[in-house]
Copies of this chain bind each other. A is one copy, B any other.
């Protein structure tokens, strides 16, 4: 087992000082060409690599970014993660990934753990519990220590920081508008419990569209589902009773699940009932019929979040704090067979 070689080893071997070695490796003008060559040759031969820890300790910079997401087995989050990872690597940063499991406690623990020197900044989407309990002390605390962070998708108004968002409201508005243009009258919304910022936005867009185009907002046409245990009779009854002819769902699982359900009972999609989901993931693509979906462009979202964070990390030494920014990533509609698609371009 070869042992890792350090500056000290090179110095001893070449009978020069550690500082000389360090400078030689950086092509410092203080060092003669001879020595530089000798040192670099030796370093290359023995495959010298500087110890990241020592450099980080010295420079107070880790080049690590902490990413905390509620769930990793989730198309949207992994896509964002991919964007973050991609941009970060490009800029020489590693990504430390933590899963909060939708739990406030885990979110807090993870943050505290990483905040003590492991990470230069955070990118995160708040856990369900965090949003529900409105508890953000861990965020304020991290900020007090001068560690920057960027919130994406699941955000809060109570904390001022950089944010990356979807135009949820507008996207839902456009979806409903499309239904109305297709002549639909009984447009249902299937959403989650209302403590999610994204669900709120989408619901608001839904209501706004109905009002704008003069359709009544019927609360009975809004169904709130829990995350788990979808297959109960509640959904069945919902579809049986209200004469629904179009459905907008806040995620693709709800959409595909409901689409399957109504089809089993002989409803023709899209002829008799149209569907639009959010999150253009793998399910939307392989559903039968293919699910028209509001694509959230998670990859870009991740890139933008990483860019904002790294910018802040690298400019935080400057005296004047830049104001916080909120970037909006526009959703676009991906039309498939669950809606009737005219030739008109949106």
112-157 of chain A: CB within 8 A of chain B: 112-118, 144-146
Residues A253 and B286 in contact, CB atoms below 8 Å apart: yes
80-121 of chain A: CB within 8 A of chain B: 81-82, 85-86, 89, 94-99, 106, 110, 112-118
Residues B282 and A96 in contact, CB atoms below 8 Å apart: no
Residues B257 and A286 in contact, CB atoms below 8 Å apart: yes
Most buried by B among A64, A99, A286: A286
Residues A117 and B53 in contact, CB atoms below 8 Å apart: yes
Q: How large is the interface on A (under 10, 10 to 19, 20 to 34, 35 or more residues)?
A: 35 or more
> Which residues on the B side are within 8 Å of A51 (C-beta)?
57, 116-117
Instruction: Choose among B53, B75, B257 the residue that contacts A56 (Cβ–Cβ < 8 A).
Output: B53
Instruction: Choose among B1, B72, B117, B253 the residue that contacts A54 (Cβ–Cβ < 8 A).
Output: B117
- Given the known A-B contacts A114-B94, A144-B2, are A73 and B78 also in contact in the complex, defined by CB atoms under 8 Å? yes
Instruction: Choose among B52, B94, B106, B144 the residue that contacts A98 (Cβ–Cβ < 8 A).
Output: B94
> Which residues on the B side are within 8 Å of A81 (C-beta)?
72, 97
A interface residue numbers (CB < 8 A to B): 1-4, 49-54, 56-57, 62, 64, 72-75, 78-79, 81-82, 85-86, 89, 94-99, 106, 110, 112-118, 144-146, 253, 256-257, 260, 263, 282-283, 286-288
- Which 3 A-B residue pairings sit nearest by Cβ, starting from the closest? A97-B97, A53-B117, A52-B117
